[in-house]
Amino acid sequence: MSVHAFEAVNAEGQDIRLEQYKGRVLLIVNTASQCGLTPQYEGLQQLFQTYADEGFAVLGFPCNQFGGQEPGTDEEIKDFCTLNYRVTFPMFRKVEVNGPEAHPLFRYLREQAPEDADADPNSGLYGHLRAKFPELLEGSNIRWNFTKFLIDREGNVVKRYSPTTGAGAIETDVRTLLSKTTS
């Protein structure tokens, strides 16, 4: 099984089979428009623009599970991303990423990469989570908005990045995967 086995509905309401991304390196991100991390859209868009022609895509999945920071409709979210951050990478309908209603793709991603590879338990984010949302630190739960999953060309989950990790810190890993040919 791989990421390519899943489907999701894009922001325009179309069913998208992720197998259409076979041969591409992906960065799958749960996003939010009213989060302190929302400016990461800028770096994600820049990363997408820089490497799209080499076979890279960012897939954005809005989620309202973290402090209610994504309350808008799918259309409002897409408009916000386009107007404020000039996002051109694919955006999907709002999903849940934790709990019994989690989208199957995110259950799979969490199973394949249960921990943030670069988590800093002494960071402000983790301190906040320990104090206010300790359940998010349990098991493979996604900790907050802007958790990122790097996927290779075959659809395998390579790495999970913490919410505070910006696109610039991921760029070397993206370039490494892009330099590998498919088997």
Active site residues: 35
- What would the 3-class secondary structure string for 47-99 be? HHHHHHHHCEEEEEEECCCCCCCCCCCHHHHHHHHHHHHCCCCCEECCCCCCC
- The DSSP line for 97-133 is -SSTT--HHHHHHHHH--S-TT--TTSHHHHHHHHH-
* Residue with token string 């984010």: 125
**Amino acid identity at 103:** H
Distance between CA atoms of residues 119 and 183, nearest Å: 31
The number of angstroms, rounded, from the C-alpha of 37 to the middle of its chain's C-alpha atoms is: 13
